[in-house]
Amino acid sequence: MNADRLTRWLTLGANIGVVIGLILVAMQIKQDADLTKIQLFSDHTNSRREWNQAMMGSDPMTVVAKSIESPHELTLAELQIMDMYLIGALNEIRRLEVLKEAGLAVGANVEGMQSFFFGSNFAKAWYEQYGGEGEFGATHTKIASVDPNWLVNFFDRVLASLEDDAGQSLARDQDAGTE
């Protein structure tokens, strides 16, 4: 009788162990599926970023500076470069948010990126026309609230913190006597 009772308890314990094992396997499969989705999303945004960079050409920062200093003088080609630049910024911000939500980009400063990319009058106007509410959800509100003078104010603070003649030369220029 005791052996029969012990057998039933051992069978129950084994069955509970099997169920727990199956639950753990199911959790692992779900976690792997979630990580695969995140990897595919990240690969997709990386692919879009590479395409955007190819479309912007070799020197988009000249166009970015022009969009801040004299946006009404942008040519159609330069406006398209800015479009690619800002779409690329949105894609990168969204990619980092997804990674951050999954706990994979813990130290990412998404808010700082939002200010850097969308902290100018042109970028704000572009974003207002672009919309992005459905595609970017909560990011939309954060970007919409970025100060349009953030970027200019940031660089004003950087310049104000430098001494009058804080220019530096590259070592190669000093060696060549071209300082």
Let me know the angle formed at the C-alpha of 87 by 127 and 105, rounded to the nearest 5 degrees.
105
Residue 140 is assigned to a structural domain of this protein: yes
- Whose tokens are 């994979």? That residue is 104
* pLDDT in the model for residue 72: 95
Residue 111 is assigned to a structural domain of this protein: yes
Residue 44 is assigned to a structural domain of this protein: yes
- Whose tokens are 């430098």? That residue is 162
Compute the 3-state secondary structure of the chain and give helix, strand, coil in percent, each to the nearest 5: 80, 0, 20
Question: pLDDT tens for residues 119-166?
Answer: 999 999 999 888 765 666 677 788 888 899 998 888 888 888 887 766
What gap in Å lies between CA 56 and CA 8, rounded to an integer? Answer: 72
Asked if 57 contacts 81 with a C-beta cutoff of 8 angstroms, the reply is: yes
Question: pLDDT tens for residues 73-102?
Answer: 999 999 999 998 998 888 888 888 887 887
Question: pLDDT tens for residues 41-62?
Answer: 677 667 776 776 766 677 888 9
107's tokens: 């130290």
Residue 148 is assigned to a structural domain of this protein: yes
The amino acid occupying position 159 is: L
Structural domain of 77: 38-163
Residue 100 is assigned to a structural domain of this protein: yes
Residue 25 is assigned to a structural domain of this protein: no
* pLDDT in the model for residue 7: 87
- Whose tokens are 């808010």? That residue is 111
Residue 47 C-alpha from the chain's centroid: 14
End-to-end CA distance of the chain: 98
What gap in Å lies between CA 151 and CA 118, rounded to an integer? Answer: 8
Residue 53 is assigned to a structural domain of this protein: yes
Interval 12-41 mean pLDDT: 83
Torsion of CA 81, 83, 89, 93, to 10 degrees: -160
Residue 86 is assigned to a structural domain of this protein: yes
Least Cα distance to 123 among 73, 89, 157 occurs for: 89
Torsion of CA 118, 120, 123, 128, to 10 degrees: 90
Domain count, the chain: 1
